[in-house]
């Protein structure tokens, strides 16, 4: 006899409308979800009684709240699950809004089943809905409906859950949409198989043509039109290129109005509500696994987490792949289908078919909610053929998260499971070493050409010839030769890559790189700078951040100028000490210019970091910070990156990024604990606490405190003291300190045989220093 706590799926429902349908109602995402929920209640046979018994409504996250930058042009509910619940007569004790990702429907079914089995809940409703097509169609019109709702009530909002979906490097190199990133995976697979572009396009068309045929017979499909493989693979005015190798017909269609719902309960609740047992479908096996970040994956063409999730779900169900009667594999892009097929040995032309709905390009990709529709279809097929098994494979992110479920009407007791062991096996595979700032000869590993309204952008994933590290780079503007390479068969082709603050660039040769992206020659601009003032006084360089109206906060152009100035300083053998200060007496620097950031203008930071200092790998000559006023956020990080700091008595220091939702990402979280100790640093970083000049002196954050308005004067005095010593000795001492910092343990660091000592032995300044001492005169340093 089945345990009364065993979870079962007892009702499923779907809803949809197209803007060109007769009777189009412009339903909101809530209304579409509610219609699907009502259908699920009717499907269960329990109707209103089941609605009143619902303990929890778990909602798939809508696109309009899926990222921090999402927008709801027609308005949205502030509590989606409770908005749906109110429309169906439910008053659940719990409401959940799941994280972003196409894996979320299957993940939620698995979670809800486990919590029902554990006795936490008896009746649960999973629901999702999207009105993306309506929002685009009616946005900005005078007669546009208002979909905004404020229902209040408790909500467990699980957040975006976007970790690993996109990185700053990917965005900086033009990979701004999932299609761009999946295209890299797709072309890596093409390269692995040795296909030409035409051959691979034909295979993508052949894969998805049967999907379109299924969609053509689905009343809920957004694009119910069967297309041939040639139609899908051939670009034209309607089937425009998106990102090579993708055309529009080969990618998920998000312009949809669709909703889906699943009603779940315990066996005991099903009996109490009068749900006939021919409505019951059991979750026989499930698994949730994550993939590592895209550029860390050993094989860009593979999705091992998807295959492992499917295998594990099948193992837990006690069946094999051949025992399945139906399959629905997430199909946002061809690679999302091919990934598990390749690893499982599943023929894409399997007569069972790989979709029940028609797939995301043709049925539609309703945000994160597609697999709720797949589950609904699977439940119906299982009921129609009792005892058979159906598989749902749900994919999220950039093949980042995969949830698999195996369903059947055959009763089975719930078996709690833990995916940690399987996940640990995936995580144990070493990540590919990466070069964030690559330079030199390389080969193409994968690529795409992004087709935008303002032209084409070429993006390459490559491997450095020197050490095999992987990098990401863009083709420079005005480089038809490299774009032509990417339009052919570029896998394994030799290229040349160069890094800069604005990102990495890749061309066909070093000569071409020198022509298109020449390195900036070291030296000071003859005409001066817009945001920085420089003054040379003998062997001392004074650098002033000249943006007093912005409290000397730095934006990308100012950062570039400072980077150029310090490149010139470190390259000039006749400059021995630099002083950095801010214009006026209010601020040394307020850090990052948030007004620029908020404006949406392009953001970049030089390779050498904020102010050209915070990430500079070798600062072999001293830089003194003359802190006048406050040094906050990035300003404090700049001061810490300098070798020495002098503060005006009115100065203040702080890493205040947490107060504006940021973090001290320019080295502050690494440097501050080393300078002031972990306890104080932790308090400053987590609370934004500021230190006065006196407190900074006591904590070791500054070397000296000067009187009001005297910071620069005191910094000059400190520079003068440094100039009394040998500049060669100063330079080599800094080098030895850097070497020691990289060696754990004081004794080992002290015993490190530095090559600096050999250089010192042969330096002219060494001879001059010893000779001057013997002759009782002041030395005349040469700097070498």
pLDDT at site 231? 96
The pLDDT tens digits for 157-182 are 999 998 878 888 898 899 999 999 99
Residue 221: pLDDT over 90? yes
Which of these, 348, 412, 363, 333, lies nearest to 207 by C-alpha position?
Answer: 348
Residue 625: pLDDT over 90? yes
The pLDDT tens digits for 24-66 are 999 999 999 999 999 999 999 999 999 999 999 999 999 999 9
Structure-token match 């169906």, residue found: 88
Residue 751: pLDDT over 80? no
Report the percentage of the chain scoring pLDDT > 70: 100
The pLDDT tens digits for 410-444 are 999 999 999 999 999 999 999 999 999 999 999 99
Right CATH for 7-167+250-427 from 3.40.47.10, 3.30.70.3460, 1.10.260.40, 2.60.120.260: 3.40.47.10
Please say whether the dihedral angle defined by the alpha carbons of residues 100, 104, 108 and 111, taken in this order, is positive or negative: negative
Right CATH for 440-512 from 3.20.20.80, 2.40.50.840, 3.40.1350.10, 2.60.40.420: 2.40.50.840
pLDDT at site 371? 98
Q: If pLDDT is split at 50, 70 and 90, which confidence band does 748 have?
A: confident
The DSSP output letter for 173 is T
The pLDDT tens digits for 681-692 are 999 999 999 999
Q: If pLDDT is split at 50, 70 and 90, which confidence band does 72 have?
A: very high
754: Cα within 13 Å, side-chain hemisphere: 21
Average pLDDT over the chain reads 95
The pLDDT tens digits for 567-589 are 999 999 999 999 999 999 899 99
Fold classification of 532-723 is: 2-enoyl-CoA Hydratase; Chain A, domain 1 (3.90.226)
Q: Is 361 exposed, middle or buried (0-12, 13-18, 19+ CB in 10 A)?
A: buried
| Mean pLDDT across 355-369 | 97
pLDDT at site 757? 82
Task: Specify whether 759 is catalytic.
Answer: no
Are residues 677 and 704 in contact, defined by beta-carbon separation less than 8 angstroms?
A: no
Residue 359: pLDDT over 80? yes
For residue 73, CA distances in Å to 67, 148, 253 come to 15, 10, 19
Q: Is 679 exposed, middle or buried (0-12, 13-18, 19+ CB in 10 A)?
A: exposed
pLDDT at site 730? 93
Q: Length of the chain, please?
A: 784
The pLDDT tens digits for 266-278 are 999 999 999 999 9
Q: What is the Cα gyration radius of the chain? A: 32
Are residues 586 and 652 in contact, defined by beta-carbon separation less than 8 angstroms?
A: no
pLDDT at site 747? 80
pLDDT at site 601? 82
pLDDT at site 454? 85
| Mean pLDDT across 593-601 | 85
Are residues 308 and 418 in contact, defined by beta-carbon separation less than 8 angstroms?
A: no
In 139-220, the DSSP E strands lie at 156-157
Tell which phi-psi region holds residue 364, choosing left (phi > 0), alpha (psi between -120 and 50) or beta: left
Among 64, 377, 657, 714, the active-site one is 657
| Cα 304 from chain centre | 20
- Alpha-carbon distance 583 to 546, whole Å? 5
Are residues 583 and 548 in contact, defined by beta-carbon separation less than 8 angstroms?
A: yes
The domain segmentation of the chain, as residue ranges, is 7-167+250-427, 440-512, 532-723, 727-775
Task: Specify whether 637 is catalytic.
Answer: yes
pLDDT at site 190? 98
Structure-token match 């097509």, residue found: 133
Helix (H, G, I), strand (E, B) or coil at 743: coil
Among 637, 698, 768, 775, the active-site one is 637
The pLDDT tens digits for 74-102 are 999 999 999 999 999 999 999 999 999 99
The pLDDT tens digits for 119-138 are 999 999 999 999 999 999 99
The pLDDT tens digits for 326-351 are 999 999 999 999 999 999 999 999 99
pLDDT at site 512? 95
Alpha helices by DSSP H, listed for 437-537, are 480-487, 510-516
Phi and psi, residue 395, nearest 5°: -115, 140
């Amino acid at each position: 006899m089945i345990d009364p706590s065993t979870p079962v799926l007892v009702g499923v429902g779907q809803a949809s409308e197209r803007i060109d349908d007769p009777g189009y109602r412009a339903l909101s995402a809530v209304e579409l979800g509610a219609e699907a929920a009502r259908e699920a209640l009717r499907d269960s046979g329990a109707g209103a009684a089941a609605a009143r018994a619902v303990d929890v409504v778990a909602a798939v996250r809508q696109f309009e709240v899926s990222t921090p930058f999402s927008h709801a042009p027609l308005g949205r509910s502030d509590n989606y699950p409770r908005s749906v619940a109110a429309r169906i007569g439910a008053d659940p004790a719990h409401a959940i809004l799941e994280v972003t990702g196409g894996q979320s429907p299957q993940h939620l079914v698995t979670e809800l089943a486990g919590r029902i089995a554990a006795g936490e809940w008896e009746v649960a409703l999973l629901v999702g809905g999207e009105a993306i097509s309506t929002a685009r169609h009616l946005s900005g019109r005078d007669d546009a409906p208002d979909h905004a709702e404020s229902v209040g009530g408790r909500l467990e909002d699980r957040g975006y859950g976007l970790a690993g979906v996109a990185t700053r490097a990917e965005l900086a190199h033009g990979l701004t949409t999932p299609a761009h990133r999946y295209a890299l995976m797709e072309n890596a697979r093409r390269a692995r198989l040795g296909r030409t572009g035409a051959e691979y396009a034909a295979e993508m068309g052949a894969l998805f043509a049967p999907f379109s045929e299924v969609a053509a017979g689905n009343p809920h499909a957004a694009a119910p039109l069967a297309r041939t493989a040639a139609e899908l693979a051939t670009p034209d005015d309607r089937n425009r290129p998106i990102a090579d190798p993708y055309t529009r017909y080969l990618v998920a269609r998000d312009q949809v109005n669709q909703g889906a719902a699943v009603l779940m309960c315990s066996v005991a609740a099903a009996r109490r509500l009068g749900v006939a047992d021919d409505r019951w479908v059991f979750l026989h096996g499930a698994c949730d696994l994550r993939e590592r970040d895209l550029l860390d994956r050993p094989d860009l063409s593979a999705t091992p987490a998807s295959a492992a999730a499917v295998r594990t779900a099948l193992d837990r169900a006690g069946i094999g792949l051949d025992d399945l009667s139906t399959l629905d594999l997430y199909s946002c892009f061809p690679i999302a289908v091919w990934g598990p097929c390749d690893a499982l040995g599943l023929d894409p032309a399997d007569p069972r078919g790989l979709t029940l709905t028609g797939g995301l390009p043709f049925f539609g990709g309703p945000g994160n909610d597609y697999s709720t529709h797949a589950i609904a279809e699977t439940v119906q097929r299982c009921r129609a053929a009792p005892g058979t098994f159906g598989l749902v494979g749900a994919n999220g992110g950039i093949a980042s998260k995969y949830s698999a479920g195996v369903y059947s009407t055959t009763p089975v007791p719930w078996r709690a499971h833990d995916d940690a062991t399987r996940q640990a096996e995936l995580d144990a595979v070493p990540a590919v070493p990466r070069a964030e700032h690559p330079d030199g000869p390389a080969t193409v590993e994968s690529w795409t050409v992004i087709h935008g309204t303002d032209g084409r952008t070429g993006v390459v994933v490559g491997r450095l010839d020197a050490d095999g590290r992987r990098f990401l780079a863009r083709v420079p503007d005005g480089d038809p030769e490299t774009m032509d390479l990417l339009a052919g068969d570029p896998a394994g082709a030799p290229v040349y890559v160069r890094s800069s603050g604005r990102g990495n660039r890749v061309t066909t040769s070093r000569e071409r790189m020198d022509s298109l992206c020449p390195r900036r020659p070291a030296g000071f601009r003859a005409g001066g700078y817009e945001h920085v003032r420089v003054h040379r006084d003998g062997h001392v360089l004074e650098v002033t951040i000249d943006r007093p109206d912005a409290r000397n906060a730095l934006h990308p152009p100012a950062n570039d100028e400072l980077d150029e100035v310090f490149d010139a300083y470190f390259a000039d053998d006749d400059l021995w000490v630099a002083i950095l200060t801010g214009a006026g007496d209010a601020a040394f620097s307020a850090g990052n210019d948030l007004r620029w950031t908020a404006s949406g203008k392009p953001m970049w930071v030089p390779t050498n970091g904020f102010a050209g200092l915070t990430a500079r790998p070798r600062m072999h000559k001293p830089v003194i910070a003359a802190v006048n006023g406050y040094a906050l956020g990035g300003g404090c990080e700049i001061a810490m990156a300098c070798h020495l700091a002098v503060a005006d008595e009115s100065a203040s220091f702080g890493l205040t990024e947490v107060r504006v939702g940021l973090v001290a990402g320019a080295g502050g979280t690494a440097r501050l604990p080393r300078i002031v100790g972990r306890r104080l640093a932790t308090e400053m970083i987590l609370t934004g606490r500021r230190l006065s000049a006196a407190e900074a002196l006591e904590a070791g954050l500054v070397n000296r405190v000067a009187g009001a308005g005297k910071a620069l004067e005191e910094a000059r005095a400190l520079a003068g003291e440094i100039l009394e010593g040998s500049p060669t000795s100063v330079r080599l001492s800094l080098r030895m300190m850097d070497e020691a910092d990289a060696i754990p343990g004081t004794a080992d660091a002290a015993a490190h045989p530095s090559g600096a000592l050999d250089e010192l032995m042969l330096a002219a300044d060494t001879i001059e220093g010893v000779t001057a001492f013997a002759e009782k005169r002041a030395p005349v340093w040469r700097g070498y």
